[in-house]
A = this chain, B = another copy of it.
């Protein structure tokens, strides 16, 4: 198993699956205040500057942020359809509202992704009075600083379960961070 590491496996999977936009989408599970799970699709935005975390973005008005404030452990389930493999990535969530990499992530977003941060409050009934609290979309979002509602989310993993469905037999690895060193074991799929 000395040749396996999940970070290389993930980057290889991302590369091999990049033809399909949906393969940049993964599902992030958190826990609500009432102890029940929440689960939604997020877009993978690359690794953090220090290479240790996975990057996502969210809106300050989103429920995710209150959830991770109370329970910072999350699990990202990422199924990549072309190579037919799944990564279950468990780790600690960190929200950054002011940092150089948060600003750089904003700059790298498409205009369509940027525009969402200027929409009315998500999850409020359409047309309700309180739904118009967002700032209005600037004429050229590309040149503006990120809006206050823009948050960089980092998932700093400590446990990864990687399953490859393709091939006979299927293969599966558990990887665990111990004293800052990743250790992997081949397990039954």
Contact = CB atoms under 8 A, between A and B. Distances in A.
Interface residues of A, number: 43
A77 B185 contact: no
B38 A126 contact: no
Copies of this chain, complex-wide, total 2
Interface stretch (A8-16, A20-28, A48-56, A139-147): A20-28
A29 B88 CA distance: 11
Nearest to A169: B119
A131 B36 contact: no
A41 interface: yes
A23 to B, nearest CB: 9
A81 B43 CA distance: 13
B29 A37 contact: yes
A30 interface: yes
A92 to B, nearest CB: 10
Contact of A188 (B71, B90, B123): B123
A181 interface: no
B40 A31 contact: no
A104 interface: no
Q: Which 8 A-B pairs have the closest CB atoms?
A: A29-B29, A29-B39, A22-B81, A27-B27, A29-B37, A39-B77, A36-B73, A39-B75
10 contacts: A27-B39, A27-B77, A29-B38, A31-B31, A35-B35, A38-B88, A40-B77, A41-B77, A123-B172, A124-B188
